[in-house]
């Protein structure tokens, strides 16, 4: 491609969004000059479906639910006055509560003020808040944040040890839409134990964010926790970051949550444009379709060149993969759709995998995120005329070019700076792109039967563990191998699972293990 044609191609596939200090460059995705007619028809349908969603259509027929996370940043779009009111009221309550915490109007049991926030959640109830907190952290933050987003006992111990003697100054947020998520419940029980062992009343330090009437909601009401904030059935976990799930911790941090919402609102407006070349979310959806032939044939490698965006790829993994990873399409046909997302940050992690990206399988495209503003203050020169930020941009542009020279495509999203407005816009951009792309490929982005299947399988394993322990307790003097125990319990099809459960119980001192000639002949019995 000549220099002139290259520049023309860049201009043609460059979308400037001055309202948000953002631009999108898709020139290195090598898209066709014009939107194919077949895709144009699909996009018209996608725009119509997006409009119907915003008007309150049932997008999740499995659960008879609307999809209304777009209303969170523009309550006027909500289909009823009741929903409009509850959105506005909740936002006001969040702002008021955060102010009362920061001004020491609400105080902990044995301290003058709350200095820390401990957030308990998993999936969308933790990924979004973590991402926002990390992206917008500054020396002006009102509170120190800690997160428990797993049911790993050692991980729980590490976090609680980090809090240490400041537990009496720690506000705990328990976030679970269903109110029954096992990982979050386990973390809550573990944390409650630490509070009570320290002579503190857990309820005087704790806030619930959950569905109205859920098990967690009832517990918080009965125990008179500090506050209860709602999660609604029309907001999915992976799109909940601009609900109380993400706005409450952000407000406690001291962030301008109204500006985050404003950025998302502006982006939503831009993504309603009917011209795909002028619609940022549609452009992304088109590029995803173009790169993967509408079948997710290529993964998306997310490379933000900004430390503040380290967690963005993790956040996007759930948003994109849980939404688009589907076995069936709308017609019930088996399609096995999806879009794999992985990545970290540049330039740190390009040292780990750019070698393969350039010379290995061409089974991906890259999304670079560039941030023009290096830091708040002026930078020193690390070489004559060159700053550290110049090197960072050099690595981004150089890597982009090196990949393209070897037939690897990429797109680049450029932000003038990271601030509440641009972050809200970035969140909304990908939410809208996921929704549009799902319609293009004919799948439902708003249900997740695979997640529920995984939860049921985990519950089956827990039930089997209880059966094993019960049998051993009933026969305290007897030793059993994994195979003999599986046969007795009529679980012969799950011998390997029985073996793994026995090994775990023994490793934690809950059973006695007697080694055999090989790992599979070992025997186990109840502790004497």
- Among the listed residues 205, 265, 298, 322, the single catalytic one is 322
Q: Which residues pair with 67 in a beta bridge?
A: none
**Is residue 109 helix, strand or coil?**
coil
Beta strands in 106-187 (DSSP E): 116-120, 144-148, 170-176
**Is residue 1 helix, strand or coil?**
coil
- Among the listed residues 336, 351, 473, 504, the single catalytic one is 351
Q: Is 322 a catalytic residue?
A: yes
Phi-psi category of 524—alpha, beta or left, where left has phi over 0 and alpha has psi -120 to 50?
beta
Please give the angle made by the CA atoms of 376, 380 and 381, to the nearest 5 degrees.
Answer: 135
**Alpha carbon 314 to its chain's center:** 6
- Among the listed residues 455, 459, 463, 473, the single catalytic one is 455
Rounded-to-integer distance, Cα 127 and Cα 404, Å? 32
Q: How far is CA 405 from each of CA 4, 126, 212, 401, 408, rounded to the nearest angstrom?
A: 18, 39, 55, 6, 7
Rounded-to-integer distance, Cα 210 and Cα 97, Å? 16
Q: Is 455 a catalytic residue?
A: yes
Q: What is the DSSP string of 165-195?
A: GGGGGEEEEEEESSS--HHHHHHHHHHHHHH
Bond from prior residue into 101 cis (ω within 30 degrees of 0) = no
Rounded-to-integer distance, Cα 309 and Cα 356, Å? 23
Count Cα atoms within 13 angstroms, Cβ side, for 216.
30
Q: What is the DSSP string of 256-271?
A: -HHHHHHHHHHHHHHT
What is the DSSP-derived secondary structure letter of residue 277?
Answer: G
Q: How far is CA 5 from each of CA 35, 77, 202, 283, 411, rounded to the nearest angstrom?
A: 19, 43, 66, 21, 18
Residue 86 has φ and ψ, to the nearest 5°, of -70, -35
Residue 372 has φ and ψ, to the nearest 5°, of -70, -40
Rounded-to-integer distance, Cα 218 and Cα 232, Å? 16
Do 322 and 238 contact (CB within 8 A), yes or no? Answer: yes
Q: Is 41 a catalytic residue?
A: no
Q: What amino acid positions are annotated as catalytic residues?
A: 322, 351, 455
């Amino acid at each position: 491609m000549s220099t002139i044609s290259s520049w023309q191609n860049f201009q043609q596939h460059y979308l400037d969004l001055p309202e948000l200090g953002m631009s999108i460059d898709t020139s290195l995705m090598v898209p066709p000059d014009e939107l194919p007619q077949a895709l144009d028809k699909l996009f018209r349908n996608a725009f119509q479906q997006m409009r119907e969603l915003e008007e309150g259509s049932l997008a999740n027929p499995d659960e008879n639910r609307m999809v209304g996370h777009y209303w969170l940043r523009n309550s006027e779009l909500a289909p009823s006055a009741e929903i409009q009111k509850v959105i506005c009221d909740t936002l006001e309550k969040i702002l008021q509560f955060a102010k009362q915490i920061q001004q020491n109007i609400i105080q902990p049991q044995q301290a003058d003020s709350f200095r820390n926030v401990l957030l308990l959640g998993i999936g969308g109830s933790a990924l979004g808040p973590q991402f926002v907190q990390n992206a917008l952290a500054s020396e002006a933050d009102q509170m120190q944040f800690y997160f428990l987003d797993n049911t790993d006992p050692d991980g729980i111990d590490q976090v609680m040890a980090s809090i240490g003697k400041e537990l009496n100054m720690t506000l705990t947020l328990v976030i679970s839409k269903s109110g029954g998520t096992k990982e979050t419940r386990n973390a809550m029980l573990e944390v409650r134990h630490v509070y009570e062992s320290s002579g503190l009343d857990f309820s005087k330090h704790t806030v619930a964010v959950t569905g109205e009437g859920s098990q967690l909601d009832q517990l918080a009401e009965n125990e008179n926790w500090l506050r209860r904030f709602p999660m609604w059935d029309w907001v999915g976990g992976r799109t909940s970051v601009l609900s109380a799930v993400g706005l409450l911790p952000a407000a406690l941090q001291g962030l301008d949550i109204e500006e985050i919402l404003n950025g998302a609102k502006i982006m939503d407006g831009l993504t309603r444009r009917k011209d795909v070349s002028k619609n940022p979310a549609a452009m992304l959806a088109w590029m995803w379709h173009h790169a993967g032939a509408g079948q997710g044939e290529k993964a998306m490698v997310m490379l933000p060149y900004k430390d503040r965006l380290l967690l963005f790829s993790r956040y996007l993994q759930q948003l994109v993969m849980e939404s688009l990873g589907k076995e069936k399409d709308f017609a019930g046909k088996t399609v096995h759709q999806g879009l794999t997302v992985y990545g970290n940050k540049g330039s740190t992690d390009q040292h780990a995998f750019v070698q393969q990206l350039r010379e290995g399988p061409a089974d991906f495209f890259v999304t670079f995120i560039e941030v023009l503003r290096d830091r708040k203050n002026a930078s020193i020169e690390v070489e004559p005329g060159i700053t550290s930020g110049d090197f960072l941009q050099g690595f981004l542009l150089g890597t982009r070019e090196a990949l393209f020279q070897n037939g690897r495509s990429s797109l680049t999203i450029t932000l003038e700076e990271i601030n509440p407005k641009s972050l809200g816009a970035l969140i909304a951009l990908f939410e809208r792109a996921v929704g549009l792309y799902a319609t293009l490929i004919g799948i439902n982005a708003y249900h997740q039967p695979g997640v529920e299947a995984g939860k049921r399988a985990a519950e089956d394993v827990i039930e089997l563990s209880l059966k094993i322990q019960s049998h051993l307790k009933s026969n305290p003097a007897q030793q059993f191998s994994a195979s003999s125990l599986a046969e007795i319990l009529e679980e012969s099809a799950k011998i390997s699972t029985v073996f793994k459960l026995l090994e775990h119980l023994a490793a934690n001192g809950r059973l006695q293990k007697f080694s055999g000639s090989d790992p599979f002949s070992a025997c186990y019995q109840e502790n004497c």
